[in-house]
Amino acid sequence: MDFSLTEAQEALRKSITEFSIKELGGDMRAREKGGTFFRDGWDRCAAFGIQGLPMPTEYGGTGESIVECMIAMQALGATCDDSGLLFTLSSHMWTCEIPILLFGSAAQKERWLPPMIRGEIIGCHAMSEPGSGSDAFSLRTLATKVDGGYRITGGKTFISNAPIAGIFLVFATVNPKKGWAGVTGFLVERDNPGLTVGQPLDKMGLKTSPTSEIHLEDCFVQGDAILGKIGGGSAIFNAEMEWERSCLFAAHLGAMQRQLDVCVAYAKDRKQFGQTIGSFQAISHKIADMRVRIEIGELLLHKVAWAKAKGQRAPMESAIAKLVVSEAYVASSLDAIQIHGGYGFMTEVGVERDLRDAIGGRLYSGTSEIQRNIIASLLGL
C-alpha cells in the first residue's frame, strides 16, 4: 500500500495551505469574543473552491474524491485557527451538500448545489431535538400528509449553521409508530412560513460557528421537498455520517499538527532550571505522544477514505476513526496546555481555545459512547 501523496494531491495540499495562510487569518480572539462568524473567510473559501471540492463539475464543483477532501480539510486545520469556520464549512458540505448530491432529484441538485458551491446559500442539517440526541431516530418532529405536500411541526436544538442558513435539511417522522423507518428528510427554505430560527446559542467552544434552535409550526412543504424517499431518512443520515466522520475529523488532525508545531517551538525556546524544557522527558514525552496520535489518526482516516473512494461502505472504520481522533484531539489539547504551563491557561496565548473546541468533537457526529456502541454492534454484540 502506497501512503505517499500523488503529485496532484501534493499540489492540492500546497495550494490550500498557501490560500489558508494568506486569506483565513485575522484577529481570531476578537471574532471568538464576539461570537462572530467569519463571513469574509467563508466567501474567500467559496471563491477558492472549498465548498465545491466534493461536488461534480456540472454543478460548479471540482469533483474531488473523499481522499482529496480529507487532504484539503487537514491542510485547512493545520493553517486556520478558526475552528468555528471549518466546522461551519463541514456542516454545510458533509451534512447538506453530500445528502443532496447522493439522494436529491435532478431538480433538487440543479436548484440547490450551484448556489451552495458558490457560497451564496449556507446549508444546515436539522436532526437533534431536546428529547432525542444520541437516540436520533426517536425524534418527535412530525410531518403530516396533506393535499400537495406535508405540514411539519416540531422543534430542533443544537443546530449548527441555523442562524445563517438558507436551506435546512429537516428530519421528521411521517409515522412515529414506525420508528427509524418513518424518518424522512425534507428540504425547507429559510423563508418558508412556519419555520422560525432561534437566537444563537452561547457555546463552550466553536464560538464562531453559529448554532441555534429552530421551530416548525404547521410548516407546509410541497411534495418535491422530500429528499430521497419517504422513510429514507436513516439512509441519508448514515451515508452523510461516514463523510463527516472522516472529512471533519481530518480538520482535527490538522489542528493537532498545528498544536504540535507550536509546542515543539515553545519547548525549544522556553528555559527552566538552566535548560530548554524540551530536554526534560516530562515534556518531550508529551510531545512524542502528540505526534503518535497524529500518525494513528491519519492511518485510520485514510483507511476510511480509501474504502469510500472504492465505493465501499465503512461504518466500522469511520466509527473507529471518529472515536480515536476526537479523543486524541482532547488529549493533545490538554498536553499543549500543560507544556505551556501558566501561559497555556491564558486566553491571549490561544492554546486553551483548542481544548474548548476539541471537546465538542466527543459529542457531535455521535458521542464517543455511541461510537463504541456502533463498533460493538457491528461485532455482533
Q: Are residues 332 and 249 part of one domain?
A: yes
Q: Are residues 337 and 301 in the same domain?
A: yes
Q: Look at residues 102, 122, 142 and tell me which one is the last residue of a structural domain.
A: 122
If asked whether residues 139 and 18 sit together in one domain, one would say no
Residues 252 and 351 occupy one common structural domain: yes
Tell me if 111 is assigned to some domain.
yes
Q: Are residues 238 and 251 in the same domain?
A: yes
Query: Residue 26: what pLDDT?
Result: 86
CATH number at residue 260: 1.20.140.10
Q: Which of 97, 240, 244, 298 is catalytic?
A: 244
Pair (109, 146) in one structural domain: no
Asked if 67 and 129 sit in the same domain, the reply is: no
Residue 2 covered by a domain: no
* pLDDT confidence bin for 126, thresholds 50/70/90: very high
Boundary of a domain, candidates 214, 231, 248:
231
Domain of residue 336, residue span: 234-378
Last residue of a domain, one of 100, 122, 144: 122
273 shares its domain with 216: no
pLDDT at site 334: 98
Beta carbons of 347 and 353 less than 8 angstroms apart = yes
Report the C-alpha gap between 130 and 300 in whole angstroms.
33
What is the tally of structural domains in the chain? 3
Q: Say what the pLDDT of residue 1 is.
A: 64
Residue 1 lies in a domain: no
pLDDT tens across 152-172, in order?
999 999 999 999 999 999 999
Q: Which CATH number belongs to the domain containing residue 141 in this structure?
A: 2.40.110.10
- The model's pTM is 0.95
CATH number for position 102: 1.10.540.10
Confirm whether 18 is a catalytic residue.
no
**pLDDT tens-place string over residues 226-284:** 999 999 999 999 889 888 888 999 999 999 999 999 999 999 999 999 999 999 999 99
**How much is the mean pLDDT over the chain?**
95
